[in-house]
Amino acid sequence: MRRVYLDYAATTPTHPDVVKEMVPFLNQEFGNPSSIHTFGREVRKKVEEAREKVAHLIGANPEEIVFTSGGTEADNFALIGIAFANEKKGNHIITSSIEHHAVLEACHFLEKRGFSLTYLPVDKDGLIDPNDVKRAIKNKTILVSLMHANNEIGTIEPIAEIGKIVKEKGIYFHTDAVQTAGILDVNVNDLKVDLLALSAHKFYGPKGVGALYIRKGTRMVPFIHGGHQERRRRAGTENTSGIIGLGKAAEIAQETKEKEAKRLRELRDYMIKEIFNQIENVRLNGHPIQRLPGNINVSIEFVEGESLLLNLDLAGIAASSGSACTSDTLEPSHVLKAIGVPIQVAHGSIRFTLGKWTTKEDIDYTLEKLVETVKKLRSISPYQHDWKSTS
């Protein structure tokens, strides 16, 4: 059976060249980079090279990069590290209602520990209004944390514009760039951020490794406490093969991302157009233009999302109903809710995310199966005649 993976926003296969770089660091060059002997020093050198590559990818200095166990830890580190280090200055933090759970749950944790949070709304396309940020800033505000692009609906936020506002006020600014680093042009100075989270497995690196950019001079406490690794900012023996894989993935992304983004945008727009051509009562979620190159998120009315996914899966096609980590719950996505999708329509939402190995043939095959499945599910539904479209 043909297998088509259209869930690149959930995770990507590790690039074969990245795998090739990683494997020797498991068994051959296996030293602990903190060791002063040759076994350790050889690996230390490679870890520092990886740091340079990651720094280069986002326009940072290598000393400003701290490796983490992924995007979630990086987001937690940013929020909790800033909060605990600056609580004497204030206890107010601004974020948005469409952040990834890695940010939202860290915020909930901080709320329980005495911090006050503002969750900004978004418009119907998922955009945050920079003026809302300006208005939300108080005397006690110590941090603004807003995602660079949303993982579910693909909307790209006006981070640079917001960064200007936040910087003027002398407040720390964090962006969750897990969906954009390695995919789009991401530069910490253009974006005017003090902190930026990224994750290797979203751009053809391994799962379980990421990084937090921390602008020089930023006042924060470590999140994981222990040994002196990462200049005492993140303790724990380094995931050396993972870090070296992240470095390689950053290097590859640097070279290929522009061309690849262009290719994906074309495929994406083709697929969206065909979905609208071939299926009735569909709506596109997320901004039509300010959108991740590989993201398609549509609500297909009169169809329930899970059965859609399962039917596609039976046809070898992998898609998602939103973020992978929420698919074990029954609640409809907080992001779709935030952009005002009616709940019964949200139930019929599906996300296709395209990537490096996606071909036009994959898209055509998916379209064929999607149309078939929607037809089948609508025919089973008691509502195919009764329901009114809400779009």
Ligand X SMILES: Cc1ncc(COP(=O)(O)O)c(C=O)c1O
* 3-class state of residue 265 by DSSP: helix
Does the footprint of ligand X cover residue 326 (CB under 6 A)? Answer: no
Of its own copies, ligand X, another protein, none, which one does residue 367 interact with (CB within 5 to 8 Å by kind)? none
CA distance 365 to 265: 18
Rg (CA), the chain: 22
- Which run of H or of E encompasses 255? helix 240-278
CA distance 334 to 290: 20
Residues 88-127 that bind ligand X (CB under 6 A): 100, 102
Catalytic residue among 26, 314, 325, 380: 325
**Measured from the CB atom, is 100 or 148 closer to its own copies?**
100
Does the footprint of another protein cover residue 372 (CB under 8 A)? Answer: no
**Measured from the CB atom, is 136 or 324 closer to ligand X?**
324
Show the site string, 59-88: x = touches ligand X by CB under 6 A, - = not. Answer: -----------xxx--x-------------
Of another protein, its own copies, ligand X, none, which one does residue 151 interact with (CB within 5 to 8 Å by kind)? ligand X
Nearest residue (beta carbon) to ligand X: 71
Does the footprint of its own copies cover residue 140 (CB under 8 A)? Answer: no
Residues 15-54 that bind another protein (CB under 8 A): 36, 41
Q: Which residues contact 136 (CB under 8 A, 6 or more apart)?
A: 94, 118, 120
> Cβ of residue 292: shortest distance to ligand X, in angstroms?
10
What the block records as the tokens of 380 is 């089973």
Does the footprint of its own copies cover residue 365 (CB under 8 A)? Answer: no
Does the footprint of ligand X cover residue 7 (CB under 6 A)? Answer: no
Contact 385, 302 (CB under 8 A): no
Q: How many CA atoms lie within 13 A of 208 on its CB side?
A: 5
What residues form DSSP beta bridges with 96? 120
CA distance 94 to 130: 12
The residue from 314, 340, 368, 375 that contacts another protein (CB under 8 A) is 314
CA angle 221, 226, 232 (to 5 degrees): 50
The one segment of 55-63, 95-103, 141-149, 258-266 that binds its own copies by CB under 8 A:
95-103
CA distance 144 to 212: 16
Q: What are phi and psi of 288, to 5 degrees?
A: -65, -25
Q: Could you tell me how many residues of this chain bind its own copies (CB under 8 A)?
A: 87
* Residue with token string 């006690």: 140
Of ligand X, its own copies, another protein, none, which one does residue 176 interact with (CB within 5 to 8 Å by kind)? ligand X
What the block records as the tokens of 317 is 């096609």
CA distance 314 to 15: 26
> Cβ of residue 212: shortest distance to ligand X, in angstroms?
11
CA distance 147 to 159: 8
What the block records as the tokens of 314 is 């039976």
**Is 325 a residue of the active site?**
yes
Does the footprint of ligand X cover residue 320 (CB under 6 A)? Answer: no
Of ligand X, another protein, its own copies, none, which one does residue 76 interact with (CB within 5 to 8 Å by kind)? its own copies
Show the site string, 288-307: x = touches another protein by CB under 8 A, - = not. Answer: --------------xxxxxx
Provide the annotated active-site residues.
Answer: 325
- Note the residues at the interface with ligand X (CB under 6 A): 70-72, 75, 100, 102, 147, 151, 176, 178-179, 199, 201, 210, 236-237
